[in-house]
Amino acid sequence: MSAFELKNLNDCLEKHLPPDELKEVKRILYGVEEDQTLELPTSAKDIAEQNGFDIKGYRFTAREEQTRKRRIVRVGAIQNSIVIPTTAPIEKQREAIWNKVKTMIKAAAEAGCNIVCTQEAWTMPFAFCTREKFPWCEFAEEAENGPTTKMLAELAKAYNMVIIHSILERDMEHGETIWNTAVVISNSGRYLGKHRKNHIPRVGDFNESTYYMEGNTGHPVFETEFGKLAVNICYGRHHPQNWMMFGLNGAEIVFNPSATIGRLSEPLWSIEARNAAIANSYFTVPINRVGTEQFPNEYTSGDGNKAHKEFGPFYGSSYVAAPDGSRTPSLSRDKDGLLVVELDLNLCRQVKDFWGFRMTQRVPLYAESFKKASEHGFKPQIIKET
């Protein structure tokens, strides 16, 4: 694990601020007037304690309506470190991570979660920094019929839970191409579909385009028993249009499985998914892995830094943001954790009615502008003094 001095911002606030001041700080920081803690079952907390991971529970409420019943859904976000060294056999590494996360999914089930989502590329170390093809490409597997989807499908059915998991996909029907893909499994245990990462980073140690390119699945929204779900994978959170398209397609909850590190992106982390929730009137669930991963060979990224074997630290800090701008506290910056959040999906429409962001969005105006901007002969609309 990484050696962060500050493990958790919320814990720091609670430790050092008096109650009245803490309440006002949380109102400003999280956008909530009242305590949003969700009491979790002892059975779920026992699993977490026995297996060394944090578990936190929060809730978002909505106004009671006269014509619609409350639409209460519980989501679980899982952040975790890898388990054994990256030099171990591929199947051993994957199995070790499977075993850890299966226990966390069991805790999510005990906590009443209807939907669970993993972090990005959860079955493997985030080895794309190395630019080495072997052995890392061996982690790739089929989205629908691969071993991880089959294993999770059994859990989804057993726990009556939708499971979203992010993998390195091997597309056997198109030249065995590799993609960065999120797979959605219905609570019936059936494969529902997949989404491939739309935006690929080329920054710092994130050398992902060595392995896969931009996705070709558009912006799908998956209609489930527990709401309309979408997945904006990692780097896509930096692109407002990516978030917007999931909203235009009707998403009520957008998960953001990620793998991002320390000072590269932490200033952006608490802002982007929260802003997307506000702008698009849906819930967002950004999830990040934890720990520092060590690889066998030194690598560089052409950024002037010395060759190194470590990648990280990944800073965790998974949270959930609501369409009214409020958010939960984050999970730890350096420890495995399960975040359980109860949502009332009616809040999505209520916020649309109150703020009118969707009504005033003016999609045709921007569609015309985007069309012009994408043409070869485009000239920016700049007015100069003559």
Number of domains in the chain: 1
Contact 266, 315 (CB under 8 A): yes
Check whether 112 has a pLDDT greater than 70: yes
Residue 44 domain-assigned? yes
Domain residues for the domain of 66 are 36-374
Closest to 103 in 3D by CA, of 336, 292, 330, 335: 336
Contact 144, 154 (CB under 8 A): no
Residue 244 domain-assigned? yes
If you search the block for the tokens 């028993």, which residue do you land on? Answer: 225
Catalytically annotated residue among 113, 117, 129, 234:
234
Is 194 a residue of the active site? no
Check whether 3 has a pLDDT greater than 60: no
Check whether 109 has a pLDDT greater than 60: yes
Residue 158 domain-assigned? yes
Check whether 304 has a pLDDT greater than 90: no
Is 234 a residue of the active site? yes
Residue 382 domain-assigned? no
Residue 9 domain-assigned? no
Residue 73 domain-assigned? yes
Is 120 a residue of the active site? yes
Predicted local confidence at residue 2, as pLDDT: 44
Check whether 301 has a pLDDT greater than 90: no
Check whether 163 has a pLDDT greater than 90: yes
Percent of the chain with pLDDT over 90: 95
Percent of the chain with pLDDT over 70: 99
Catalytically annotated residue among 197, 208, 272, 342:
197
Contact residues for 276 (Cβ-Cβ < 8 A; gap 6+):
232, 237, 240, 243, 254, 284, 321
CATH number assigned to the domain comprising residue 138: 3.60.110.10
146 confidence band (pLDDT: 50, 70, 90): very high
Residue 20 domain-assigned? no
Token pair for residue 9? 């911002």
Residue 384 domain-assigned? no
Catalytically annotated residue among 26, 100, 113, 120:
120
Query: Residues 341, 95, 317, CA angle at the centre, nearest 5°?
Result: 30
HEC per residue, 47-59: HHHHHCCEEEEEE
